[in-house]
Amino acid sequence: MNEERPHFGGSGTPLERWRDDPELADLPSLNLAAIFEESRRVVVIAPHPDDEILGCGGLLMQLHALGRELLLVSVTDGTGSHPGSSLWPAARLAATRPQESRRALARLGLASLETMRLRLTDTQVAGEARTLAYRLHRLLHDDDILLTTWRGDGHADHEATGEVCAALVDGSSRTVVEMPIWMWHWAEPGDARVPWHRAHRLPLDESARAAKRHAMVEHGSQCQPDRSTGAPPILSALALERLTQPHEVFLL
């Protein structure tokens, strides 16, 4: 139903609401050793180049430090972020955003991370879900751990990618871990639309938070206003603050 769909208007949930939420602070800790077993590869499946930093940059740093095998799959090149822009036409975004992602990962100490680009159409992942499923099916191992955007995140590409990944777990030894990203914008503490019973928290220290902020500076296309359309940055300063809290939250 329409009224239950997330709203993306305005600046989103104030940072203090999340900061002051006691239930968020009380979420169970993500048990890295138990969830991300040593023998299994972790495959991050990011709809757009930046979701891997915003959703799980801190987790990736910790998994890398533990020596886990990691693969990043970029579903789209994020060419749909600036509709109608003469400053950021799709061709420029296609050339720029994957490079921004590489530089951002380097700032997290992940310059060597293996990356694959699937080049599906940004904003149209739901319509290309069968292609995505097929491409992923071809490259996944039977016991991979999939780390992807939450099926209820309120953004069509995030939800479609999450759905495809969840379906790829059925009948295999794979598991899926989902990360909310836009949820921090439209939801409120205790929001009934969020499956908090599945949520686990990974604390981030100040250096990890600083590294994430530093990494996001590389995503200039997303963090600066568009002079040609007058549009504000895709990611406002507030949105970046909401996404660099002293923890990352994952749905198991």
Minimum distance, C-beta of residue 173 to Zn ion, in the bound complex (Å): 28
Q: Is the dihedral of CA 105, 248, 209, 48 positive or negative?
A: positive
Measure the CA–CA gap between 234 and 220, rounded to whole angstroms: 10
Out of 12, 24, 42, 48, the only residue in the binding site for Zn ion (CB under 5 A) is: 48
Binding to Zn ion by CB under 5 A, coded x per residue (else -) over 3-42, reads: ----------------------------------------
Q: Which is nearer to Zn ion, 63 or 239 (CB)?
A: 239
Structure tokens at 205: 């220290």
Minimum distance, C-beta of residue 47 to Zn ion, in the bound complex (Å): 5
DSSP codes of every residue in 48-104: STTHHHHHHHHHHHHHHHTT--EEEEEEE--TTSSTT-SSS-HHHHHHHHHHHHHHH
Measure the CA–CA gap between 113 and 133, rounded to whole angstroms: 22
55 binds Zn ion (CB under 5 A): no
Q: Which is nearer to Zn ion, 51 or 144 (CB)?
A: 51
Q: Is 36 helix (H, G, I), strand (E, B) or coil?
A: coil
Minimum distance, C-beta of residue 158 to Zn ion, in the bound complex (Å): 6
Out of 51, 122, 159, 218, the only residue in the binding site for Zn ion (CB under 5 A) is: 51
Strand partners, 43: 71, 146
Q: Which is nearer to Zn ion, 58 or 180 (CB)?
A: 180
Q: 196-234: buried (b, 16+ CB within 10 Å) or exposed (e) per residue?
A: eeebbbbebeeebbebbbebbebbebbbeebeeeebebb
| Range in contact with Zn ion (rule: CB under 5 A) among 36-44, 48-56, 84-92, 104-112 | 48-56
| Range in contact with Zn ion (rule: CB under 5 A) among 3-11, 46-54, 184-192, 215-223 | 46-54
Out of 47, 49, 57, 154, the only residue in the binding site for Zn ion (CB under 5 A) is: 47
| Range in contact with Zn ion (rule: CB under 5 A) among 43-51, 88-96, 183-191, 236-244 | 43-51
Minimum distance, C-beta of residue 161 to Zn ion, in the bound complex (Å): 9
Q: What single letter denotes the amino acid at residue 100?
A: E
The binding site for Zn ion (CB under 5 A) comprises 47-48, 51
